[in-house]
Amino acid sequence: MNVLLDNLGLYMSAFVGTVELFLVAAVGSIIGGLLLAAMRVSPVPVLRAFGTVYINVVRNTPLTLVFFFFAFAYPRLEIFDLSFFARACTALIVYTSAFVCEVVRSGVNTVPVGQAEASRALGFTFGQTLGSIILPQALRSVVPPLTSVEIALLKNTTIAAGFAVFEAGGIYQNLSERGYNVLVGLLWVALGFLILVVPLTLLQRNLERRWSVAR
pLDDT digits over 186-215, tens only? 677 777 778 888 888 888 777 777 765 444
Chain mean pLDDT for the chain = 79
Does the reported pTM lie above 0.95? no
pLDDT for res 146: 86
- Contact by Cβ (8 Å): 167, 161: yes
pLDDT at 164 over 60: no
User: Is there a contact between 90 and 83 (Cβ–Cβ < 8 Å)?
Assistant: no
177: helix, strand or coil: helix
Q: What's the Cα-to-Cα distance from 141 to each of 4, 65, 111, 144, rounded to whole Å? A: 40, 32, 9, 8
**Within the chain, what is the greatest distance between any pair of CA atoms?**
70
Q: Based on C-alpha coordinates, what's the Rg of the chain?
A: 20
Query: Which amino acid is present at 110?
Result: T
Lowest mean pLDDT across 37-46, 60-69, 163-172: 163-172
Q: What does the pLDDT read at residue 214?
A: 47
Q: How far is CA 24 from CA 87, 128, 180, in A?
A: 11, 27, 32
Confidence of residue 4 (pLDDT cuts 50, 70, 90): low
Mind listing the domains of the chain with CATH numbers?
Answer: 17-167 (1.10.3720.10)
Most confidently modeled range among 20-29, 76-85, 167-176: 20-29
Q: How far is CA 173 from CA 118, 121, 162, in A?
A: 59, 62, 10
Comparing CA positions, the residue from 38, 14, 158, 21 lying closest to residue 87 is 21
- DSSP, res 167: S
Q: Give a three-class secondary structure readout of 51-78.
A: HHHHHHHHHCCCHHHHHHHHHHHHHHHC
- Residue 79's contacts (CB-CB under 8 Å, 6 or more residues apart) are none
Torsion of CA 113, 117, 118, 120, to 10 degrees: 140
- Model confidence pLDDT, tens digit, residues 54-107: 999 999 999 889 988 888 888 787 777 788 888 889 999 999 999 999 998 888
Between residues 32 and 188, the one the model is more confident about: 32
Is residue 148 a contact partner of residue 102, using CB atoms and an 8 Å limit?
Answer: no
